[in-house]
Every structure is written in C-alpha cells, then in structure tokens.
Amino acid sequence: SQQGEEDPQALSIQEGENATMNCSYKTSINNLQWYRQNSGRGLVHLILIRSNEREKHSGRLRVTLDTSKKSSSLLITASRAADTASYFCATDAGTGANNLFFGTGTRLTVIP
Amino acid sequence: NAGVTQTPKFQVLKTGQSMTLQCAQDMNHEYMSWYRQDPGMGLRLIHYSVGAGITDQGEVPNGYNVSRSTTEDFPLRLLSAAPSQTSVYFCASRWTSGPSGANVLTFGAGSRLTVL
C-alpha cells in the first residue's frame, strides 16, 4: 500500500492552543498535500508543499516536510472551535497519472 | 459553479443487487477519480480516469466498474454488491496548482452506501 499514516489518530485541545499532527509516508514524492474533512462532508484542500520545500505557511497553517525521514507535520496555530475536523495528508509521487494517496487521518477536536 | 456533484447521498442495498453512483463535475477537469473511505483506513483509490474514454484501476478496484464517456461524468458501478462494499464513496476531480503542475483534488460531498 502507498498509504501514509497520521499521528496521532485523535487530538483534543482547548481553543487558542496550537495543534500539531504528523504524517509519515513510504515512497519518494513530488509533493505532499493536506486536506480537511468536516463531519459528513467531502475533503477540502488546505495546503501543498513540494519535495524541494522544507516549510510553507498559509494563514494559521504551517507545514514542514522532511524528505529524508519521509515525514511531514501540520501545525494549526491559535486553534478555533471551527477547526474541529479530520485532517489527512496525501502524497503525489509525480509518476504516471499523479494519483494522490491518502493517510489514515487525524481527528482534531477543539474545545471552546 | 456546482463543483463535483455526487448522487445519491445515501443508499441501502441488499447483497447481490447492482447500482450506480453518479459523479458529475462542471469545471472541465480532465482527471476524475473514485475513493472509498472506511474507518481507520483513510481513503483508498478505486478507479481513476485521465480523460474521456480512458480509465484505469487504483488500489482497490475489485467489484467496481467505471466508464468515462464524457469529460463531465464518471459513474461508479457495483455489479453485485457485497457487505464489504459498505463504505462512504467520494468522487474527486483535479486541477493543477502552481507552474510545475502539482495536482490538487476537488471532492464531492460523498455517497454513503450500506450493503445488507
């Protein structure tokens, strides 16, 4: 399987705290993406980091990538109740049809 | 712009029945795909298509058929449903992000299928 794994599986924090979730993957990649899924909804793209990048920011999101360890982390700063969702990493190996392979997800709960 | 539209949202089938999950996109995306989402398994790729008339298998294609006669539509067919196909199914289509053409997916809202 080309799936990655997220860690932790579930995370519960207080509003205002930072949330960090990690993703490990197995194959070489062209880029890695993070998606959010609200309960009962489809996935929504958050941020993309290419294999030659080490860190990327978008608003309250910070993503890092360590290709030598085949791992990435997503940091959400100053969390809000509306950030409650599941977060998935997805890898693009940059070969063939450039299919995305998703991790198992981290369930984040932000307590108001 | 409706994006990616999936129907039905919910469906209950009996073992052995057949059905088609519909997916349509209005963004003129060439690439479309189907994933299934199961607890603890994340999303797994079933089938994908890089354009009208072209389809290929993903990680878990057994028990599913697809066709792509138009750019807009990519239906997923279950010919003889089994309880193991109980899942939430997502259709997604792709645009490119940035000058090097990285691929970002737009997802439908999902179709929850229960096979008894």
pLDDT by residue (tens digit) across B72-101? 999 999 999 999 999 999 999 997 666 566
Asked whether the beta carbons of B108 and B90 are under 8 A apart, the reply is yes
- pLDDT band of residue B102 (cuts 50, 70, 90) is confident
Residue A47 in tokens: 């941020």
Minimal Cα–Cα distance from B15 to chain A, Å? 25
User: Shortest CB distance from B42 goes to which of A31, A33, A102?
Assistant: A102
Q: What distance in Å separates the CA atoms of residue B53 and residue B69, rounded to the nearest whole number?
A: 6
Say yes or no for a CB contact (<8 Å) between B104 and A97.
no
- Percent share of chain B, pLDDT over 90: 86
> How many alpha carbons fall within 13 Å on the CB side of residue A57?
3
Is residue A21 within 8 A of residue A14, CB to CB? The reply is no
pLDDT for res B97: 62
Minimum mean pLDDT among A82-86, B12-16, B29-33, B38-42: which range?
A: B38-42
> What whole-number distance in Å separates Cα of residue B97 and Cα of residue B82?
38
Range B16-21 average pLDDT: 97
pLDDT, position A10: 96
Ranges of chain A with pLDDT below 70: 1-3
Residues forming a β-bridge with A88: A35
pLDDT digits 0-9 by tens, A40-63: 999 999 999 999 999 999 999 999
Give bridge partners of residue A14 from the DSSP assignment: A111
Q: How many CB atoms lie within 10 A of CB A6?
A: 25
Best residue of B105, B107, B111, B112 to probe chain A, by most A CBs closer than 10 Å:
B105
**Is A88 at the interface with chain B, CB within 8 A?**
yes
| Residue of A101, A105, A83, A106 whose CA lies nearest to A27 | A101
Residues of chain B above pLDDT 70, percent: 94
pLDDT of residue A2: 57
Q: Cα–Cα distances in Å, from B48 out to A4, B60, B67?
A: 20, 11, 9
Q: Which residues of B touch A50 (CB under 8 A)?
A: 98, 100, 102
* pLDDT confidence of residue A9: 93
Torsion angles phi and psi, residue A81, rounded to 5: -55, -35
B58 touches chain A (CB under 8 A): yes
Chain-chain contact of A30 with B105 (C-beta, under 8 angstroms):
no
The pLDDT of residue B103 is 85
pLDDT at A5: 84
Who among B33, B42, B103 is closest to A103 (CB)? B42
Q: What is the DSSP code (8-state) at residue B99?
A: T
Q: According to the model, what pLDDT value does residue B41 have?
A: 82
Tokens standing for A70? 């085949």
* pLDDT at res. A20: 97
CA angle, A93 as apex, A91 and A98 as ends, to 5°? 95
pLDDT at site A94: 78
Q: What is the pLDDT of residue A19?
A: 97
Q: Does residue B105 sit at the A interface (CB-CB below 8 Å)?
A: yes
Burial of B7: CB neighbours in 10 Å, binned 0-12, 13-18, 19+: middle
